[in-house]
Amino acid sequence: MGFPGTWMTQSESVVYRVVPKCACSTIGQIMYYSDHGAFFDGDIHDATSGMHKWAIEASQPRIEKAAKERKIFTFTCVRNPYARILSSFFDKICGIQRNGKRYRGNLVPLLVQKYGIEIGGEDGKQEFDQIQSFRRFLLFARDTIRFRKPMEPDIHWSAMSGHISTFIVNGGRYNHIFYTEKFDEGMDVVLKKMKAKHPIDLTSIPRFNESEGHGPKRSHPVSAYFDDLSRHLVWEIYKRDFQLFKYDFDNPDNKMPVGEVDLAEVHAKLGD
């Protein structure tokens, strides 16, 4: 299986396990800038040079060596599960993607037909019942993760612990896991370890958000989207994410973690 979703700076200063919807565009651009003194022109997910990625075959031996030798500082980033699944809905389901099309071709028509989801019209900008549609999407997300029907789960809404575990199971170890909600604080630790060729001032860099403007804006507080059934489904899908990464399940409006990540616990529980 190797190390899917793993990126490494060209200079091999740090290794990063990408977790979708957790500031991955910004993190990737910072890694790129640290080597080249300029940001990648475009979406960093599209870069095929200037950075090592597991998806680039030539990079795989270097990433595998780095992961297994465990000498290079390795990190990842997590996000509140309530906010993450909401972001996935507004971006991937309601939004038009950067190629001008709907995400994954027939996915959205399937959701409209089978789950009765509304998406805000052709351009995603019409008024619609966001709460009702999101809750129906959540049923679909649960079905894909629990039953792998009507399709395999998508990386943007599958559990963070699942992404993070592949790196551990295949022989890697994390030195640092930080929170999207405390981004500057967490990324500062990475920058101190990576000894970048081109210094980075976290307070002045833009936030690269590949999903910004793709879909409609969220009209309600986070808690409004999650009734008892929705919260039951969220717990079913993301129980390990809440427990390992110390997020507040009881209060969907509290996006901040209520503890600190215990790396030993993460490695023990995700390494089986």
User: Right CATH number for 1-272 from 1.10.3470, 3.30.70, 1.10.10, 3.40.50?
Assistant: 3.40.50
Q: Where are the domains of the chain?
A: 1-272
Q: Is the link from the previous residue into 150 a cis peptide, with omega within 30 of 0?
A: yes
Chain segment 236-261, per-residue pLDDT in tens: 999 999 999 999 999 999 999 999 99
Chain segment 63-74, per-residue pLDDT in tens: 999 999 999 999
- Return the H-helix or E-strand segment holding 178: strand 176-179
CB 6 within 8 A of CB 67: yes
pTM of the model: 0.94
pLDDT at residue 212 in the model: 57
Chain segment 178-232, per-residue pLDDT in tens: 999 999 999 999 999 998 899 999 988 888 876 556 678 889 999 999 999 999 9
**Tokens (6 digits) for 54:** 């597991």
State the average pLDDT for the chain: 93
Chain segment 95-114, per-residue pLDDT in tens: 888 788 888 888 999 999 99
User: How many residues in total does the chain contain?
Assistant: 272
The residue among 232, 239, 247 whose CA lies nearest residue 269 is: 239
pLDDT at residue 36 in the model: 97
pLDDT at residue 121 in the model: 76
